[in-house]
Amino acid sequence: MDFTNLCSAAVRTLAPYVPGKPIEELEREYGIRDSIKLASNENPLGAGPRAIAAIAAACRDIGLYPDGNGFALKQMLAQRHGCTIECITLGNGSNDVLVMLAEAFLTTEVEAVYSQYAFAVYPIAVQATGAQARVAPALPEGHPMALGHDLDAMARLANEKTRIVFVANPNNPTGTWVGAVALRQFIRKLPASTLVVVDEAYIEYVDDPDFPDTSRWLAEFPNLVVTRTFSKAYGLAGLRVGYALSQPAVAGMLNRVRQAFNVNSIALAAARAALEDEEHLRKSVATAREGLRQVAAGLDELGVRHLPSQGNFLLMDCGRPAAAVYEAMLRQGVIVRPVGNYQLPNHLRLTIGTGQQNQRMLAALKHALSVGI
Ligand SMILES: Cc1ncc(COP(=O)(O)O)c(C=O)c1O
């Protein structure tokens, strides 16, 4: 029996998500120690002290199911975003919310639009439903936001059959972003029946004053859905908490496909504590911004081209196949992220670490480039 044939063609032909290489795997394979992972855009400071204390306290109650509605966390988020709790959908990471959106709103009869080089979860979530993906070509070389979202090209692909348009702002893996004026104009051009999902996983790191916080636009655009995460600046990637903000009617549909108890009790407690720990957030953001300047300057010194970024990562161009450079860095105990799965075989994505980690990454890169494989 060939069980693969029991799946829909859409699922059978999916390319699975490729995660960053775990440190344990590298050290096992290469027989090395003291490696660093700058491959999954995690927070190098980890969780803050308040979250860690909340996690310890929450452990006492893990014999009980979590609050399946996440009431206390939703209340805090509602206050923060100036909306009601009915607008909030909690997810097991924002990835979960993105998949719920696809499950709830996409069918084989409709279409979804995203950009070339957009975050890899969008194509997976869309294709699994059998909906038609329309991929807009990215902005060309020479453009200040080369490889970034071309909103005009995306708008041209949208029509009455388009149920979802995904905009990652800033985008991973490119780090590129769209400004408030352009995004507003873009949303206005879309049919009212098209949900615009603005994925703001990295918004806490942003320092461009023209960058939109679309959580403030929910009343203006009923078809807007904003996704956020605790995995990046809040340092809780391993616990998996994210959320969507939308009209209550949209949240109601997501709630139908949401798994019962999709966010565990420890994650709920940690997320609440993380929201209150402004000091840790401030430190995390400052570390990333400072590190971004350090890594960009280091790349400039090495004569390595890179894209601008508003995230906690940078996309660099090796000017040759990146696989050998990646491999040479691995041998020095530094894990970064190849992006061949995005059809960018010459690029590497570097997550910003602590100052020391960044220094080590740049030294490993310098050596990897010099061995000239
Ligand atoms: C743009 C973007 N959106 C969403 C996510 C999903 O993050 P999580 O599921 O950890 O919230 C990521 C993770 O890297 C991302 O880069």
Ligand 1 atom with minimal separation from the 242 CA: 11
pLDDT computed for residue 298 by the predictor = 98
β-strand partners of 225: 197
HSE-CB at 16 with a 13 A cutoff on CA atoms is 3
* 214, 223 contact by CB (below 8 A): no
What does DSSP say about strands 195-199 and 224-229: parallel, antiparallel, or unpaired? parallel
244 Cβ inside 6 Å of ligand 1: no
117 Cα: distance to centroid of ligand 1 (angstroms): 14
* 337, 348 contact by CB (below 8 A): yes
Ligand 1 atom with minimal separation from the 119 CA: 1
5-43 per-position pLDDT tens digit: 899 888 898 888 888 889 999 999 999 899 999 999 999
DSSP state of 277: -
pLDDT computed for residue 133 by the predictor = 98
95 Cα: distance to centroid of ligand 1 (angstroms): 6
- For the four alpha carbons of 287, 292, 294 and 295, in that order, the dihedral sign comes to positive
DSSP state of 237: T
3 Cα: distance to centroid of ligand 1 (angstroms): 31
Q: What are phi and psi of 352, to 5 degrees?
A: -80, 125
* 260, 248 contact by CB (below 8 A): no
94 Cβ inside 6 Å of ligand 1: yes
Ligand 1 atom with minimal separation from the 230 CA: 11
Coil, strand or helix at 321: coil
| Rounded-to-integer distance, Cα 37 and Cα 22, Å | 7
174 Cβ inside 6 Å of ligand 1: no
94 Cα: distance to centroid of ligand 1 (angstroms): 6
53 Cα: distance to centroid of ligand 1 (angstroms): 25
202 Cα: distance to centroid of ligand 1 (angstroms): 8
92 Cβ inside 6 Å of ligand 1: no
Per-residue buried b or exposed e for 297-330, using 16+ beta carbons within 10 Å of the residue's own CB: ebbeeeebebbbbbbbbbbbbbeeebeebbebbb
Coil, strand or helix at 63: coil
| Rounded-to-integer distance, Cα 367 and Cα 331, Å | 11
Burial of 26 per CB tally in 10 Å (0-12, 13-18, 19+):
buried
| Rounded-to-integer distance, Cα 12 and Cα 35, Å | 36
Per-residue pLDDT of the chain (373 residues; tens, 9 = 90+): 889 989 988 889 888 888 888 999 999 999 989 999 999 999 999 999 999 999 999 999 999 999 999 999 999 999 999 999 999 999 999 999 999 999 999 999 999 999 999 999 999 999 999 999 999 999 999 999 999 999 999 999 999 999 999 999 999 999 999 999 999 999 999 999 999 999 999 999 999 999 999 999 999 999 999 999 999 999 999 999 999 999 999 999 999 999 999 999 999 999 999 999 999 999 999 999 999 999 999 999 999 999 999 999 999 999 999 999 999 999 999 999 999 999 999 999 999 999 999 999 999 999 999 985 5
162 Cβ inside 6 Å of ligand 1: no
What does DSSP say about strands 195-199 and 162-168: parallel, antiparallel, or unpaired? parallel
Ligand 1 atom with minimal separation from the 199 CA: 3
| Rounded-to-integer distance, Cα 311 and Cα 177, Å | 9
Ligand 1 atom with minimal separation from the 94 CA: 11
pLDDT computed for residue 18 by the predictor = 81
pLDDT computed for residue 301 by the predictor = 97
Q: Using alpha carbons, list the distances in angstroms from residue 215 to 44, 150, 180.
A: 26, 22, 12
| Rounded-to-integer distance, Cα 159 and Cα 324, Å | 43
Q: What are phi and psi of 51, to 5 degrees?
A: -65, -40
pLDDT computed for residue 372 by the predictor = 58
Burial of 80 per CB tally in 10 Å (0-12, 13-18, 19+):
exposed
Comparing CA positions, the residue from 123, 119, 124, 105 lying closest to residue 162 is 105
Ligand 1 atom with minimal separation from the 92 CA: 9
Burial of 177 per CB tally in 10 Å (0-12, 13-18, 19+):
buried
